Amino acid sequence: MGKRIGLFGGTFDPVHIGHLRGALEVAELMGFDELRLIPSARPPHRETPQVSAADRLEMVQRAVADLPPLVVDDRELKRDRPSWTIDTLESLHAELGADDSLYLLLGWDAFCGLPGWHRWEELLEHCHILVLQRPDADSEPPEALRDLLAARSIADPLALAGRGGQISFVWQAPLAVSATQIRQLLATGRSVRFLVPDAVLAYIHEHGLYRATN
Ligand code: ATP
């Protein structure tokens, strides 16, 4: 039997307990062999203070160093341009076995934006999509996704079968933490202890990341 591999992308600027708890819960629910955290490349001047791709990657590596089945996949940072998800899926399949299956994890907001993604209609040829939904959410999908959902969604995520092509939902209460909040706390000299793993906290302090730059 092939491996079942979850994919969880993000800027991880920095990775925090919300990402890690969410990923771990989905991995356990789904019985994934691996859940790959995939830090995304980002335009160099989006935010200040700046944290390099190498720092973001190192923090994710430290966060999952002893946390199977969570692992890091750095392929999007190795390219010299931001990667389309379709490219990432194709490059993963080029390395994996023919029986392995991919599960792309997307928050509801990201899922709703799917029709704007490059070659989005081909995504399901390469993976299943697991939409992470909040228990209290009451959201209507955009028109462009209604037919797709009607044709492809199934109620039980554990029933996703084959190499791809289906959509299911995982209901999950996210922890009230965001990378934005963590950057703000650090910029004002406050503690982020317990919001990030201690190994990530140590890295942030060792390298003086996210400090106010004035
Ligand atoms: P920022 O505050 O900089 O926008 P973020 O904390 O939302 O960052 P991202 O790296 O943008 O983190 O998110 C990567 C993925 O993690 C997204 O799919 C996002 O929905 C999810 N995510 C972010 N915060 C949480 C959380 N607290 N619990 C569960 N999932 C989360």
- pLDDT tens digits, 144-162: 899 999 999 999 999 998 8
Nearest atom, ligand 1, residue 180 CA: 2
Question: How many CA atoms, within 13 angstroms, populate the side-chain half-sphere of residue 72?
Answer: 21
Q: Is residue 82 part of a domain?
A: yes
Q: Residue 140's pLDDT is what?
A: 87
41 located within any domain? yes
Q: Would you state the pLDDT for residue 45?
A: 55
Using CA atoms, how far apart are residues 111 and 91, in angstroms rounded to an integer?
Answer: 21
What distances in angstroms separate CA 198 from CA 20, 60, 63, 70, 138, one per listed residue?
Answer: 13, 12, 8, 17, 35
Asked, for residue 19, whether it belongs to a domain, the answer is yes
Protein residue with its CA nearest to atom 27 in ligand 1: 18
pLDDT of residue 44: 55
pLDDT digits (tens, 9 = 90+) for 25-55: 999 999 999 999 999 987 655 555 569 999 9
Nearest CA to ligand 1 atom 30: 19
SS3 call for 63: helix
Note the pTM of the prediction, 2 decimals. 0.94
What's the pLDDT score for residue 20?
A: 98
> Does residue 25 form part of some domain?
yes
Supply the pLDDT for residue 46: 59
Cβ atoms within 10 Å of 159's Cβ, excluding its own: 9
Is residue 206 domain-resident?
no
The CA 157 to ligand 1 mean position distance, Å, reads: 21
Residue 108: inside a domain: yes
Q: Is residue 212 part of a domain?
A: no
Which amino acid residue places its CA nearest to atom 21 of ligand 1? 19
Domain count for the chain? 1
Domain that holds residue 161: 2-174
In a domain, 181, yes or no: no
Residue nearest to atom 15 of ligand 1 (CA): 10
Burial class (CB in 10 A: 0-12, 13-18, 19+), 198: exposed
Residues 6+ apart with CB under 8 A from 27: 6, 35, 69, 70
Segments of the chain scoring below 70 in pLDDT: 43-50, 213-214
Query: Are the C-beta atoms of residues 152 and 163 closer than 8 Å to each other?
Result: no
Residue 44's CATH number: 3.40.50.620
pLDDT score recorded for residue 50: 66
Is 17 near ligand 1, meaning CB less than 6 Å away?
no
Is the minimum distance from the CB of 19 to ligand 1 under 6 angstroms? yes
Asked if residue 11 has its Cβ within 6 Å of ligand 1, the reply is: yes
